[in-house]
Amino acid sequence: MERALIKGKGSRMIKERVKLHPTAEIGEGVEIGDGTKIWAQAQLGAGARLGANCVVGKGAYIDRGVRVGNNVMIHNYALLYRPLTVEDNVFIGPQVANANDPTPIANVIRDTAKDPGTTFKKGCRIGMGATLAPNLTIGEYAQVDMRALVTRDVPPHAIVRGVPAKIVGFACFCGKKLGKHPEIQMGASIHHRCADSSCAKTVTIPLENYKRMK
């Protein structure tokens, strides 16, 4: 892999230290931030925007106009369809895919511009092979486990699993799973301190979300 100029017509690098594999396909008007690496056969549709220090794995597809923040990891063969916003520090595992059309019809390209779209909030983690229904929000620091079929919004810090995905636990900012017994319940919230002493952050979970845990 070597430093290369963005090839798409009208595309620009925000700064110069983008690493772009020669076989990557970059659409018109794409913007790529400093320090981002794009591996072989990745495809970025026109107008896609990636922040700094991201990695786009081999064969990943990032649709037209998709917005990606900083420090985002997009693994091999992820399929990320518009409209989609990916905030900072999100992890997207191999073969993750998000649907965008609830009623697809062959040979009709629907205008998705007015759809609410999907958002991966900051720090969330989408496990290998997870599939997401259209127009969902995956909350901050949430975790979607491998192969989950996500059909509902995922609350912040929730861990979801299965088909259809259900909440099975909660995770800290550091990614560690929180135990099932909360330290403190105050009013309508659970306050849970991370058991990892090098982290020891407190995560606040609304009681209504906590009660949804299976």
The residues of the shown chain that bind ligand COA, judged by CB under 6 A, are: 93, 127-128, 145-147, 161-162, 177
171, HSE (Cβ side, Cα atoms, 13 Å): 25
- C-alpha 52: how far from its chain's center? 15
Q: Minimal distance in Å, beta carbon 38 to ligand COA?
A: 19
Using CA atoms, how far apart are residues 42 and 100, in angstroms rounded to an integer? 20
Residue among 72, 78, 79 at smallest CA distance from 49 = 72
CB 139 within 8 A of CB 157: yes
Binding of Zn ion at residue 199 (CB under 5 A)?
A: yes
Q: With CB under 5 A as the contact rule, which of the stretches 90-98, 111-119, 180-188, 199-207 interacts with Zn ion?
A: 199-207
* 174 touches Zn ion (CB under 5 A): yes
The smaller minimum CB distance to Zn ion, of residues 129 and 175, is found at: 175
**87 or 145, CB closer to ligand COA?**
145
Record the tokens describing residue 103, joined without a space. 């009623």
CB nearer to Zn ion: pick between 7 and 201 = 201
Start-to-end Cα distance in the chain: 45
Going by their DSSP bridges, the two strands 166-170 and 158-161 should be labelled as: antiparallel
Minimum Å distance from CB 56 to ligand COA?
A: 15
- Nearest of 54, 111, 59, 113 to residue 86 by alpha carbon: 54
Three-state DSSP at 20 gives: strand
> Which of Zn ion, ligand COA, none interacts with 174 (beta carbon under 5 to 8 A by kind)?
Zn ion
161 interface partner picked from Zn ion, ligand COA, none, CB below 5 to 8 A per type:
ligand COA
Taking CB under 5 A as the criterion, which residues in 40-79 touch Zn ion?
none
Binds 128: which of ligand COA, Zn ion, none (CB < 5-8 Å by kind): ligand COA
Footprint on this chain of Zn ion (rule: CB under 5 A): 172, 174, 176, 194, 196, 199
